Amino acid sequence: MKTIKDAEEKMAANKVIKTHIINYAKTRETYITYRKSGYSKKFFEAHRDEITLHKAAKEAFSKLPDGKIPKVKDLNEEFVRLLSEKKAAYSEYKKIKKEMRDYQIAKQNVESFYAAQQSWDIEEDMKKKRQQER
């Protein structure tokens, strides 16, 4: 189960980084123009969303562990690898879950059998006592 959760977390992080890379590429020209304008407040207000996305992407890149921005192609390949690992782990999880359910059913059957056997034994003992009392 842990590998499924790990794969999901890595896939989510992968998706976030990929989104930041795409946003950075889309807003790069606007940010360069903003810088050339001397960080004009008027330009900022006109392009607030793009500049904010660009700054968020730069901040996310600065938090990357090795400081290197991965390529989208590499992220896609890792995503596919993680997805296949997740599917394999999930199929194993389903198999184990089915086995556990089968064991639980078998346990209930055995418990029911023993309870019925015990009940039957008690009835037999009572019949024997009644016959002896006569």
What pLDDT tens digit does each residue of the chain (134 aa) get?
A: 578 899 999 999 999 999 999 999 999 999 999 999 999 999 999 999 999 999 999 999 999 888 789 999 999 999 999 999 999 999 999 999 999 999 999 999 999 998 888 888 888 888 887 788 76
Single-letter code of the amino acid located at 22: I
pTM tops 0.85, yes or no: no
What is the C-alpha separation between 23 and 15, in angstroms, rounded?
12
Number of H helices and number of E strands within the chain?
A: 4, 0
Sequence letter at residue 95: K
Q: Which residues of 29-46 are buried (b: 16+ CB within 10 A; e: fewer)?
A: ebbeebeeeeeeeebeee
What residue segments make up the domains of the chain, in order of their start? 2-133
Cα separation, 30 vs 51, whole angstroms: 7
